[in-house]
Amino acid sequence: MRLRAAAAVPSPAVSRRTLRLILTMHGLIRLVDLAELLATELISNAVRHTKGPAALRVRWSAGVLRIGAWDADPAPPEPPVPLERVAEAEEGRGLALVKACADLWGWQPLSREGNRGKVVWCELAAA
């Protein structure tokens, strides 16, 4: 599934509601709350820190849900704030939350077929 998000305030909310609906329809209700939280952080960062379009990407394969936020900026995301400093940090808390809650997370630059930008992603295992 891919959901394009305009660089506007409602985009994370629309992405979150759409993800909830899709996961519920596919019987993945046990992952909905955490998936919504992580997708919101990822797409919020993509919309907030880049000037171009963004898209939420979701894939279910072999018992693993992968959530990614694509944006047109190829620069790497800022590293997450260490958990012990999250309370006083003004930025970087979103990726710290993703790092703490996801089973795995990362980012990758994209440059094939004329597409540029990056995907920041995380994974949640069903078990």
Three-point CA angle 46, 48, 53, nearest 5°: 50
Terminal CA-to-CA distance of the chain, rounded, Å? 22
% of the chain beyond a pLDDT of 90: 39
> Residue 121 to residues 28, 66, 83, 84, 85: CA-CA distances in angstroms?
19, 7, 19, 23, 23
- Rounded-to-integer distance, Cα 94 and Cα 98, Å: 6
> With bands split at pLDDT 50, 70 and 90, how would you rate the model's confidence at 94?
confident
- Using one digit for the tens of pLDDT, what is the confidence trace for 40-93? 999 888 888 887 788 888 899 999 999 999 888 888 888 877 766 656 666 667
